[in-house]
Structure 1
């Protein structure tokens, strides 16, 4: 299985990039992991929120394949403990999912077409974080999930 994180807009802060890269290096020992960045939309000043979400959805659909299993990271999604998240990843691997794709939307969330395409909505927290911070938190949680699955001493309960 390969995990792909697709996000709108680049990460500007060096400390976030450093953290993401730290966990990407660690993840190489467990699974194939890729981050795809969709460029921010240009000239959005005259677009409504719905128009912006629709244009972002078009870009997401270009980045995912019909056979990909898609999970949107959304504050209204289900919340899982780190242990339950590791169980979810394990079930996907056992179920022979080829590409497990996680999406981080733009500032207004996702277009309804993305929600309809998604298999799950997952929340990392009820709190709101910047889209850049979520990337770091997510990559760390994927790493944590694999250390849980391997019984390694990273996660403590």
Structure 2
């Protein structure tokens, strides 16, 4: 199974880039993992929030491949403790044949088309984080899950 984190727009702040890249590299020791960036829309000042969501949604859906299992990182999704997420990843590694794709949308969330394409929704917290921060939190939790599954010292009950 290949795991992909699909994000809209590049990470701009250097401290986030450094930390995200560190966790991506650590995670690759355990799992086939990459981060795929969909370019931000250009000239959005004249576009409504809904139109931006729709256009981003089209780009997100184009990135999906047949056989992908799509999980949206969404405030309305299921919350899990780190140990539960590790168990979730273990189940997915045993059942997903192609790609497990986690998706972080743009600033206005997901279009209806993206929600329809998704298999699951997952929430990292009830709190709101910047899209840059969510990327870091997710890759850290993915690394933590892999570390838990491999008996590493990264998690303490």
TM-score w.r.t. the length of structure 2 is: 0.97
The residue aligned with 1:116 is 116
Deviation string 1:114-149 (CA, Å, 9 cap, x unpaired) is 111111110001111110111111000000001111
String of CA shifts for 1:50-99, please: whole Å, max 9, x gaps: 11111001101111112100000011111011111111111111114320
Distance 1:61 1:112 in 2: 11
Q: Name 2:51's counterpart in structure 1.
A: 51
**Where does structure 2 lack aligned partners over 5 or more consecutive residues?**
none
Question: Which residue in the other structure is 1:133 paired with?
Answer: 133
CA distance in 1 between partners of 2:97 and 2:122 (Å): 17
- 1:4 alignment counterpart: 4
Residue-pair matches, total = 157
Equivalent position of 2:34 in the other structure: 34
The structural deviation recorded for 1:103 is 0.5
Q: CA deviation at 1:45?
A: 1.4
Runs of 5+ unmatched residues, structure 1: none
- For the residues of structure 1 that align with 2:141 and 2:135, how far apart are their CA atoms? 10
Task: Write out aligned runs for 1:59-78 (5 A).
Answer: 59-78=59-78
Contact 2:69 / 2:96 at 8 angstroms: preserved in 1?
A: no
- Structure 1 residue aligned with 2:148: 148
State the Cα RMSD in Å: 0.9
Tell me the equivalent position of 2:105: 105
**What SS class does the counterpart of residue 5 from structure 1 fall into?**
strand
Q: Secondary structure at the match of 1:129?
A: coil
